[in-house]
Each structure stands twice: as C-alpha cells, then as structure tokens.
C-alpha cells in the first residue's frame, strides 16, 4: 500500500494515499488479462474503456492512456480517488476470482495525476452551436455535464451558490482524501473547454427561475445537501454538528487554520460521530486530526456499513473507535454537550435493502462521555431551487423526477446527480449527468 503512516498523517490534512509510481503503474497494468469481453467496463457507471487505457499504461504511453480515460470521464483524478471500485470495476475484474483484481482506481488516478503534472491536453471541442445551456451546481454532476455540453459546442454557464466550485468535492470530502488542487485542476480543464462558472449565484434567488428557464436547456445538479438530523433530545445544544457543517467549516472555510482563517470550529476532547457511510468516516477522521479521541457510532454491524472499505480501514488505522450495533437516543448537556445516551441493538430479520433491521435491546442503555456529537446520517435533495420552479415534478423524497434520459416534467429541463437520485456516490452522479448531457445534446440537435 502507498499510504502515509497513520501516526504521522493524523497530525495533518495532506493526502493519505500517495498513489503509484510510474514503475508500479506499469507493473500493475501488465497484470491485466485484456479480456475479450471485459466485465470492468460494464461495472463502470461512465463506461471508461478500461482495458484500452490499461494497455497504454503497460506500454508507458501515459498521455494516450489519459486521453482514453477522458473520452468518458473528465474527472479521472477525482474518480480514481473516491469511486467505490470494490463494488464497481474492480469488483467484477476476473482476476479478483483467484487473486487480487487489477487496481483500476489507482491506475486511473496515476494517469490523471501524471497528465496534470506534465500538462493536460484538452479533448476537442465542436464548433459553436449558438445554443445556451445553464447548469445549476458545480459538483460532480454539474461539472461532468458542463464538460460534455461544452464539448458539443454549446455555450455553457455553470451557476454555483458558494464562493468555490466543486460542490461536495470542495466542501464535503476532506483534503487528505481529495486534495483541493486536484479538484481545482480538473474543474479548470472544463473552464478551458469553454464553460463559464458563475460563483456566488444561488439560482432561484440571485437568478430568478424565469431567467433560468429562458436558456435553451437547463441541467439541474443541485445535489443532496440538506442534512438530516436524528430528531433526538439535545440535538440543538452547542457542540452538536451536522457532518455537513463540521466538514464545510474545515474543508471549505479552513477552520483548522483558525485564527489565521476567520471561521472557527469547536475542538473537542471526545467526539461521537453517528453514521456508517463515507461522510461519517470523513467527519471522524477530521475530528481526529483536530486532536480528539473519536468514537464512530453505527446502529448495524461493521459489515453493513455503506462506506468504502478503504475509508473504514483508514479510519481504524487512525485510531477511530467503532461502536457498532449501537444507536444514540439522546444528547446530554446543559450549556454544552456532556454525553451521548446510547442503546445496544440486536440484528433481526433482513430489511428491504438486504441489511438486518436493528432492534434495541432492553436494559442495554449506556452513556458515552463525549463533548461533541457529529451527525452523519445522510442528506436529502436540496429543496430550495426545485421548490421555486413552477411545474417541476418532485418525488416523495424531494428528488426531481426524471425519465431515462434525465428529462424532468419540464421538456427543456434535465436533472442528474443527487437531486435526481437522492444521495449517492460521486461516480453515480457523473453517470446520470452524462446521460442527461447526451439527452440535452440530442434535444438541441433535433430542435
């Protein structure tokens, strides 16, 4: 493994995984069987021609490898770092049946990092079509669609409400897992392809809905940024954060550098992070880097956690203590948090998702001595903009309803990413964005 040692890395925010060297990448690529019917491509939500790019890596043709990856994916340095490869391309790699699968994610990242350091070449952009497309949100879905739409020759304007582009890549995923210069560089490529990014625009407020709908096509990619809270007593005490707030303060506002930067964050001695997904792991590992002893509280078993294996592994290495089959029932404190009341859970029959449904064990209540609680139990689609667009059909969970092309109930308005699917992964957002961009391109060609 190419990870920095846990004892060092818990004191900084630099990247944990150091990536492959050129020699390692070539050796890893040489293991690829170059299957006639590659299963890995089917396992990739954006259908990268994986065997083809790996063959180029094996030959040392890194520039050509990068070009092949970028035909389908303009954010390879990002995906190589955060895709759950074990359930996608690597999960279906035929080598995985007998030995270890090809490290496709590491190779993708290697190729992208190599290209960034040696000067990126841009995909060809079609002649201007004279059509205007608005993309709302500059996260993974918005940037992916903007790239495909700019490549087709449309005038693309991306609206971002924050002061930095990137969405969850910027405010959500910490720099030790997603260095911000990597995010900036990949977004910069899309800008160089002709897309304009307007920051500090909250569409629906800074740009009225009717002006948005005046574009020839609209792609909504506003994400699932609305944090869920458990609804337990004590939740509004000082010292209780949503993971979104805690991570935004650090990742976007650099609160770890307070007072050199102006935004503060609480530093606690003992922190409970509630949840078992990637966001929970990120929050726990950030809290650890701010100097706390961190407990991760999850109501099911460790094997039921939705987080990537690598994140669970990294969190444990960094000394995060996992309390599984444990559910918080109340936060104790007067002027600040002093404890978290929990109950042990026993695993019962499987639920609809195939995971066991947890039931509280009577008499198993206990209090965990903590002075900060971070809730990372999920997010739902941002309700603001979609509620301001008249006639936009929404599903029960607040998501925008789309057809298989990503088209909403308004013919020239498409949607993708978490706003359409509910909270999912970066790569799934990108996959749905590519589909919608193709739908928009088709519509504009035929119109």
Partner 1 sequence: MYTINTATEIADKIFEFWIDAPQVARNARAGQFLILRIDEKGERVPLTISAVDGDAVRVVFMAVGKTTEHLATLQAGDTLADVVGPLGKPSEIREYGTCCLVGGGAGIACTPIIARELKAAGNHVIGIIGSRNADLLILEDEMREVCDELFITTDDGSKGFHGYAADVLKRELDHRTIDAVWIIGPAIMMKVTSAATLPYGVKTFVSLNPIMVDGTGMCGSCRVTVGGETKFACVDGPEFDAHQVDFAELMQRQRIYTDQEKLAAEKFAEHVCRCGEGGHCHE
Is position 236 an interface residue for partner 1 (rule: CB under 8 A)? yes
The 138-177 site mask, x for binding partner 1 (CB under 8 A), equals -----------------------xxx-------x------
Give the CA angle between residues 52, 58, 61 to the nearest 5°. Answer: 75
DSSP 234-264: TTTSTTEEEHHHHHHHHHTT-GGGTTTSS--
Give the CA angle between residues 145, 77, 49 to the nearest 5°. Answer: 70
Min CB(99)–partner 1 separation in Å: 43
Member of 7, 34, 261, 366 binding partner 1 (CB under 8 A): 261
Member of 202, 213, 347, 368 binding partner 1 (CB under 8 A): 202
Classify burial at 274, counting beta carbons within 10 Å of its beta carbon; exposed 0-12, middle 13-18, buried 19 or more.
Answer: buried
> Nearer Cβ to partner 1, position 90 or 418?
418
Report the C-alpha gap between 149 and 447 in whole angstroms.
16
Is position 239 an interface residue for partner 1 (rule: CB under 8 A)? yes
Member of 16, 217, 253, 271 binding partner 1 (CB under 8 A): 253
Q: Where is 63: in which H helix or E strand?
A: helix 62-72
> Nearer Cβ to partner 1, position 51 or 225?
225
Member of 67, 249, 289, 435 binding partner 1 (CB under 8 A): 249
Is position 21 an interface residue for partner 1 (rule: CB under 8 A)? no
Give the CA angle between residues 11, 253, 113 to the nearest 5°. Answer: 65
Min CB(165)–partner 1 separation in Å: 13
Member of 153, 319, 383, 422 binding partner 1 (CB under 8 A): 383
Q: What b/e sequence results for 67-91 when a residue is b if at least 16 CB atoms lie within 10 Å of its CB, and e otherwise?
A: bbbbbbbbbbbbbbbbbbbeebbbe
CB atoms within 10 A of CB 97: 8
> Nearer Cβ to partner 1, position 162 or 347?
162
Report the C-alpha gap between 207 and 18 in whole angstroms.
42
Contacts of 305 (CB under 8 A, 6+ apart): 276, 277, 298, 312
Min CB(90)–partner 1 separation in Å: 32
The 385-414 site mask, x for binding partner 1 (CB under 8 A), equals ------------------------------
Report the C-alpha gap between 405 and 208 in whole angstroms.
26
Question: Half-sphere exposure of 90 toward its Cβ, with a 13 Å CA cutoff?
Answer: 18
Member of 60, 264, 291, 395 binding partner 1 (CB under 8 A): 264
Site for partner 1 in 213-232 (CB under 8 A): 225-227, 229
Member of 138, 157, 324, 382 binding partner 1 (CB under 8 A): 382
Min CB(237)–partner 1 separation in Å: 8
Member of 335, 353, 363, 391 binding partner 1 (CB under 8 A): 335
Phi, psi (rounded to 5 degrees) for 89? -50, -50
- Which parts of this chain interact with partner 1 (CB under 8 A)? 161-163, 171, 199-202, 205-208, 225-227, 229, 235-239, 241-242, 244-245, 248-249, 253-254, 258-264, 266, 335, 382-384
């Amino acid at each position: 493994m190419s990870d920095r040692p846990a004892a060092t890395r818990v004191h900084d925010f630099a990247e944990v995984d150091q990536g492959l060297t050129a020699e390692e990448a070539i050796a890893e690529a040489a293991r690829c069987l170059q299957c006639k019917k590659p299963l890995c491509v089917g396992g990739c939500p954006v259908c990268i021609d994986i065997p083809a790019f790996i063959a180029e890596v094996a030959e040392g043709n890194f520039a050509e490898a990068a070009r092949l990856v970028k035909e389908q994916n303009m954010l390879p340095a990002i995906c190589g770092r955060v895709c759950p490869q074990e359930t996608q391309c690597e999960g279906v790699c035929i080598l995985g049946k007998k030995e270890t699968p090809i490290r496709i994610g590491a190779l993708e990242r290697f190729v992208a990092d190599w290209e960034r350091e040696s000067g990126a070449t841009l995909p060809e952009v079609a002649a201007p079509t004279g059509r205007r497309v608005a993309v709302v949100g500059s996260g993974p879905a918005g940037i992916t669609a903007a790239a495909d739409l700019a490549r087709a020759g449309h005038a693309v304007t991306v609206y971002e409400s924050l002061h930095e582009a990137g969405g969850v890549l910027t405010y959500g995923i910490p720099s030790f897992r997603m260095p911000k210069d990597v995010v900036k560089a990949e977004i910069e490529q899309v800008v160089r392809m002709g897309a304009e990014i307007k920051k500090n625009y909250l569409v629906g407020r800074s740009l009225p809905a009717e002006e948005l709908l005046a574009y020839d096509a609209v792609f909504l990619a506003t994400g699932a940024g609305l944090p869920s809270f458990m609804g337990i007593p004590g939740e509004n005490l000082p010292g209780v954060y949503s993971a979104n707030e805690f991570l935004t303060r650090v990742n976007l506002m650099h609160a770890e550098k307070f007072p050199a930067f102006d935004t503060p964050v609480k530093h606690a001695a003992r922190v409970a992070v509630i949840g078992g997904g990637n966001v929970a792991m990120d929050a726990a590992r950030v809290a650890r880097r701010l100097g706390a002893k961190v407990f991760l509280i999850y109501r099911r078993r460790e094997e039921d956690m939705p987080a990537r294996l690598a994140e669970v592994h990294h969190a444990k290495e960094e000394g995060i203590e996992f309390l599984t089959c444990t559910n918080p029932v109340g936060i104790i404190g007067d002027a600040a948090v002093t404890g978290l009341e929990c109950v042990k859970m026993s695993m019962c029959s499987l639920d609809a998702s195939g995971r066991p449904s947890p039931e509280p064990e009577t008499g198993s209540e206990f209090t965990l001595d903590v002075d900060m609680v971070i809730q990372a139990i999920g997010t739902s689609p941002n309700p603001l903009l979609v509620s301001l667009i008249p006639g936009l059909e929404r599903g029960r969970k607040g998501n925008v309803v789309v057809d298989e092309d990503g088209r909403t109930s308004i013919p020239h308005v498409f949607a993708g990413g978490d706003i359409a699917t509910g909270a999912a992964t970066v790569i799934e957002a990108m996959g749905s964005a590519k589909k919608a961009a193709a739908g928009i391109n088709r519509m504009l060609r035929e119109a």
